[in-house]
Amino acid sequence: MLKIDNLHATVGGTEILKGLSLTINAGEVHAIMGPNGAGKSTLSYVLGGRPGYEVTEGSVTFDGQDLLALEPHERAAAGLFLGFQYPVEIPGVSNVQFLREALNAQRRSRGEDELSGGDFLKLAREKAGLLRLDMEMLKRPVNVGFSGGEKKRAEMVQMGILDPKFAVLDETDSGLDIDALRVVGEGINAIMRKPDRGVLLITHYQRLLDYVKPDRVHVLAKGRIVTSGGPELALRLEQEGYEAVAA
C-alpha cells in the first residue's frame, strides 16, 4: 500500500532524511519510534506534501501512484490522512463546516455525490460518539479553546469522517491523559484496523501501542531506519533507551 524507497529530504538546506526505506502493506499498522531530531515529523510532512520539505532522492508509491507527484489536496483525495503532532486552530470556521467542506471536496474529486447536510450530521454524530466527543464541540471553531486531548479526539473524528485508506499519525498520543489515550487508541482501531487500510503511527512512547497493537516497530535515527522488529521492540526501547537498541 505504501512503499518508501531510499528517501532523502531536506528542510532549509539541511538534509534530514538520509535514505529511508519502508514498506507497509494493506491491513498493517507500523509504528516508528526514535529520538528527537531523528526525522519522524519530517517524514510525516514529506508524505503529506508540506511546503518547504524538499525530496532530493528516492520515491514514494501509495496505492499504485507516485505520491510525490501529487499535490497535498490530491494526496488527501487519494486516501492519505495526516494527523498532526500539534493540530492547528482555525478561528471563525466551525468543525462541522470545515469537515463537511473537506469531505465533499474529496467526494467530488472521486466523482461521488456530495453528502446532504442531514446525511453529514448523521455521519458526524456517529464518529463523534465513537471518540466520545460531544457534538457541541464540533459546532465550535476548529480546535479553538480545546484542550490537548480534545484536539486529538477531534482530529480522530475528522479521520473517521474522511475515511482514508492510509493514516500517518504524528505523535497522536501527545497531550493525552490515560482515559483519552484509551479512547483515541480504540478509535484508531475501529476506524483503521481493516484489511484494506494501513497506518503509520509515529510515537515517542510505548503506551499508545498498548491499545493500537502494531504489526511492526521501526527505530528511526539520524534520518534512516536503523532497526525493525515486532511489538516487543517497543518494550525494549522503553527499558533500554534508543541508544542501546539502535547501536
Residue 222's SS3 state is coil
At 152-175, the pLDDT tens digits run 888 889 999 999 999 999 988 877
Please, which pLDDT band fits residue 19 given cuts at 50, 70 and 90?
very high
Residue 138 confidence (pLDDT): 87
Q: What is the mean pLDDT of residues 48-69?
A: 95
Helix residue ranges, H only, the chain: 40-48, 72-77, 95-109, 117-130, 135-138, 148-162, 178-192, 232-240, 242-246
Give the count of domains, the chain: 1
Query: What's the CATH number where 128 sits?
Result: 3.40.50.300
Residue 247 confidence (pLDDT): 60
At 181-206, the pLDDT tens digits run 888 888 899 999 999 999 999 987 78
Q: What's the pTM value of the predicted model, to 2 decimals?
A: 0.90
pLDDT exceeds 90 at position 148: no
Paired sense of beta strands 166-170 and 141-142, if any: unpaired
pLDDT exceeds 90 at position 111: no
The rounded distance, in Å, linking the Cα atoms of 26 and 240 is 31
Neighbour-count burial for 77-88, b at 16+ CB within 10 Å, e otherwise = bbbbbbbbbebe
